[in-house]
Structure 1
């Protein structure tokens, strides 16, 4: 029976490269001279440091631009609130979300079931497995999910006959 998985993944190497390029550009830009602006990465959590909120926004804008150039979807980023450190300095944490959360997985299954396509969808951890009798029906299901779920980046993997 043909099947495929709906997942949400991020290329961690590209994320690391984007962070390194951002730090390099921030270090070279004239408007950041003498400031402590930087981006640090710890696994899937990025922390943006700056001397003030304006520089924080500028550094974030550079980071998002680097993500876009490297093909990392920015919809998978979850920005935390801006926190004051010492004096005027501020920081903000940005979490890179990987995997499909339970609420979104339930929404995907509901969309598939409501479509009356002859497929079965089941939640398996951080992925949704869809199986059906024919390959064409599975391709219709992929098109339906792409059209219905736009708020979060999804990939379709493990297509098996």
Structure 2
């Protein structure tokens, strides 16, 4: 509809400058009709904007899947699906404060040391799931309590 109005305005404009001029009466009514129609279109646009607010997410997100309070995948309007990987809460362990680590992880570290003999800091870190600094402080505390002995290599520790 808007395109037909624009075309009509252009044709009337061309007709005004031709040798066969349009009458003032037809020009007046034509302009009035166009102005009335434009006002109607503006009213329709305002009504659509007030009632049919389009959310930004609706413009590019097609589908969101929820499972167990998580979002495993989002499908976008362009067809791309993004999947999210979640680690199970039962598998994850939070890092304990350094002062409390010796008490909580002492048995696990001592068991690792007695089973494997020489053990690296990285292996102990994987076993206990604590930070590098926490592992160093835990090993230092075990060596201080004489529960472990530090060998020539700085990251290896064994239990006697």
Report the TM-score when normalising by structure 2.
0.24
Structure number with bigger Rg: 2
Higher relative contact order (CA closer than 8 Å, sequence separation 6+): 1
Q: Which has the higher strand share?
A: 1
Report the TM-score when normalising by structure 1.
0.24
